[in-house]
Structure 1
Amino acid sequence: MAGAEARLDAAGVSLWLTDWKVDGGGAWSGQRVMALVGGAYAGHLDVYVHPDGQAVDVAGLEVSPEYRNRYLASVMMDALYAAYPTAWINHGGRTPGGTVWWDRYNEPAPERNVHNRPAAEWAYYFDPLTVAAQKARNAYQNRYHGVNGHQEAVYRYGESMEDEARQYAPAFHEPDVQGPDPGLDELYGGMRVILPPGLHRIVHDSSRDAAERAGLVLDHIGHGSLPHYSPWSTTEQSAFEDLVHEQVFDTESQQLATHLTFHVLPLADQEMPLHHVKATWLQFANSPGIEVQLVGMSWRSPQQMWVTHSAVFDPPVDAAITPEYPQDASPAYRARYSEIGDLLPGQTQRRAEGASPYAGREAEIRDMADRLQQAVARRATDRPPAASGQPTPADHQVHQQPPPQQTTGIR
């Protein structure tokens, strides 16, 4: 990042490399470099990252109007190169504004820009035909706007590339999506919630029991109100990052909300609900009200994002992801929860039963019982018969006489 950031004024700029949850990308995960100035959103750089981390595809670069012409875009792009120091980078086709900016930008590692290298080196990651079309578009934009655009670095700039692109197109390999599996993986989802002032003070009071505070929050939002719209990830940190994104781009709400995450166990032993799998997360589609085992909750205060409160439920608590549309709620959900996710009258909070110590040991237990019965039968056969007229041991009344008291002799 050396260079570009030196030309920024002391405006309190901070950069944040975080998850970017987006429908596109296939097996490539979304990442975002977000720029904040004085804690307020100033711009972002969105990219897709290959599963092996060795290729980055730039999707978009944006700076808010009030922060333009202050080299903020260059700082974010420098940060991207620093975050992926060995990866190929494809900048794609540029817009008119991007064309003018690129002409001024001093690229830190032009040898990793796929537009500057032959397709034989990077065709495994990027479709050569697509890259050729992007280079042609950029060449047109450069001529139209009368800029150089670092054309001397571009591989075979101005020459026909169609034949070479077609030659290496078969080398391109699109990876398969292998995201989380709700039947096997524990998942984390989040929501922002504005708590009443009194409850807010209790929930963020670290001197109180964490599980008790978590129970109060769950009662407040409803046991059946886990968010269906939330991206469900495999890490708690990713769930918290989603909530910060919501807050940064929420220009309507004037109230700061508590950031709350839910930790649920795999959805085993039930029909798998409809869901869309992405590279690092999934989202439930048309949720009818999905029963889950809630194993924990964590939350952060909007005033102290660096402080995380966490509670573990042992055993887990029965809860549910709310239906996407109330009219589509399942009969099981309607029998237990109201339309707003509260427990219905007569319904009580349930906790999952712990695993039985006998589960899976049926054959072992049956074999042990057979051996015990055989041993009892064998002992009964080997016992000598009682003499005629002689009471059996069971008929005896045994009397124990106390031992005689002994006195210590004095010699």
Structure 2
Amino acid sequence: MAGAEAQLDNAGTALWLTDCPTDGMPGWTPRRVLAMVGGVQAGHLDFMVHPDGQALSVWMLKVEPGFQRRNLASVMMDAVYAAHTTAWIDHGGRTQDEARWWNRYAEPDPARNIHNRPPQEWAQYFEAPAVMGQRTRNAYLNRMNGLDGHGAAEYRYGERLEVEGAEWASAYRQARAQGPDPAAGELHGGLRLVLPAELQRVMFDERRGAAKRAERLLDHIGHGNLPYAAGWHTTLRAAFENMAHEQVFDPAPAEEATHVAFRVRLAPGQEVPRHDPRATWVSYTDSPGIEVELTGMSWRSPQTPWAMHTAEFDQPIDAAIAPEHWAEASAQYTARFDEIGELRPGQSPRRAGAGDPFAGREADISAMAAKLKEASRQRVAASLPAPTQEVFESLRAPQQTPSPQQSPRLR
């Protein structure tokens, strides 16, 4: 054991390095080092990673009051350096407490700190004027508090900081926020639930079929009540991580919560709804109720995350991401679901069988049937003999032949 980690006491400390679905720099991936001590959230370090992995920006470093003075902040920062071994690092501007901590911190690789290198090496990743502003703030706090702040390692500019910042401002290249394409495949979103005791027992009873349990849970949630506020991720792991973060930072987390993940794809022929693309997920903004095909579900308890239950649907279930506001729900959604996301009477959770060649062609099929029926009637009618009229001999009227003397009268 070496570095800051060697100074930790034996308190059952665990670090979790994970993606974190938070807002930040467009195109950059938000990540978090989460420190847990004795199963309790003790601190976290949030940072953003450039799409090419060669630059990161530290956004927040926090240790909870009950866990300070244990060297936890230094351990988390060391973990960032160890996880991204070649990236430029921008530590940003500091507060009073952060300036004091930085003065004590032994930076593992000072050569990757952009404050210690000339801007021509890193200016494509970071806005030079902003970096110069950070340096000015940090220098001021160091002077006010009588701190060295590792000043000897910092890069010495030949010009004033504002001049250097203006000179290199044009070198910055903003990363594109591409994110996953909702129309290109399946996405995963999650929901935390506190289930009735009976349903909770059913959902974790492996003697029952997984698909039947999943459909029972969906009946409880509502087919049109998939979460509109969820981040929809490219992987199941990321969806569960998102819920785990919510659980950890929830001020009053429910011990009996069940974490449920939905695997969905947009319904065929549907236009891609408005969405906010991030590096590894999307969120649907102002959802009017978005029709999706539910192809699978997974669920687990936060107390036993390794015991995950999964159901795959051979035939997708027709579902919907709930509208953010009922007053703005689409007519298509309200025709199928009520205000709490349940199917209206007469609506089926599966409107067409998977792979059914007749799905969506009901009107065409009815028209073709009527046409065939009419053609058949016409053929039968054409094959019958012409109708004849028989007159019995005894009923015939006698024929009167005019005599030769008579001439027919003109009428």
Structure 1: which amino acid aligns with 2:344?
L
Q: Is the 8 A contact 1:187 1:266 kept in 2?
A: no
* Whole-Å separation in 1 of the counterparts to 2:304 and 2:206: 12
Q: Is the 8 A contact 1:187 1:233 kept in 2?
A: yes
Aligned to 1:97: 97
1:228 aligns with 2:228: yes
* Whole-Å separation in 1 of the counterparts to 2:250 and 2:235: 23
SS in 2 for 1:318: strand
Flag the structure with larger Rg. 2
Aligned to 1:257: 257
Question: Percent identity at matched positions?
Answer: 55
Structure 2: which amino acid aligns with 1:145?
N
Aligned to 2:270: 270
TM normalised by structure 1 equals 0.84
Alignment deviations for residues 59-115 of structure 1 (CA, whole Å, 9 cap, x no partner):
110110011111000010000101101111000101111000000000001111000
Aligned to 1:342: 342
Structural mapping, 1:177-192, within 5 Å: 177-192=177-192
Aligned to 1:55: 55
TM normalised by structure 2 equals 0.84
1:241 aligns with 2:241: yes
Aligned to 2:195: 195
1:210 aligns with 2:200: no
* Whole-Å separation in 1 of the counterparts to 2:113 and 2:275: 36
Structure 1: which amino acid aligns with 2:170?
P
Aligned to 1:299: 299
* Whole-Å separation in 2 of the counterparts to 1:342 and 1:110: 58
Structural mapping, 1:10-409, within 5 Å: 10-156=10-156, 160-350=160-350, 352-355=352-355
Q: Is the 8 A contact 2:157 2:164 kept in 1?
A: no
Q: Against the structure 1 CA distance between its residues 350 and 75, is the aligned structure 2 distance closer, same or farther, given a 3 Å change threshold?
A: same
* Whole-Å separation in 2 of the counterparts to 1:345 and 1:57: 53
Q: Is the 8 A contact 1:88 1:122 kept in 2?
A: yes
Structure 2: which amino acid aligns with 1:217?
L
Q: CA deviation at 1:158?
A: 10
Structure 2: which amino acid aligns with 1:349?
P
Equivalent pairs counted in the alignment come to: 359
Q: Is the 8 A contact 2:228 2:323 kept in 1?
A: yes
Q: Is the 8 A contact 1:228 1:322 kept in 2?
A: yes
**Structure 1: gaps of 5 or more residues:** 360-411
SS in 2 for 1:152: helix
Q: Is the 8 A contact 1:228 1:324 kept in 2?
A: yes
* Whole-Å separation in 2 of the counterparts to 1:166 and 1:326: 49
Q: Against the structure 1 CA distance between its residues 68 and 159, is the aligned structure 2 distance closer, same or farther, given a 3 Å change threshold?
A: farther
Structure 2: which amino acid aligns with 1:275?
H
**Structure 2: gaps of 5 or more residues:** 360-411
Q: Is the 8 A contact 2:289 2:329 kept in 1?
A: yes
Structure 1 stretch 340-349 or stretch 134-143: which is displaced more?
340-349
Alignment deviations for residues 89-145 of structure 1 (CA, whole Å, 9 cap, x no partner):
000101111000000000001111000011111111111221111111111110011
| RMSD, matched Cα | 1.8
Alignment deviations for residues 199-258 of structure 1 (CA, whole Å, 9 cap, x no partner):
111111223211111111111111111000101111111110110011101122443310
Structure 1 stretch 108-117 or stretch 273-282: which is displaced more?
273-282
Q: CA deviation at 1:266?
A: 3.7
Q: Is the 8 A contact 2:34 2:43 kept in 1?
A: yes
* Whole-Å separation in 1 of the counterparts to 2:185 and 2:178: 12
Structure 1: which amino acid aligns with 2:176?
D
* Whole-Å separation in 1 of the counterparts to 2:202 and 2:254: 22
Q: Is the 8 A contact 1:27 1:177 kept in 2?
A: yes
* Whole-Å separation in 1 of the counterparts to 2:78 and 2:205: 41
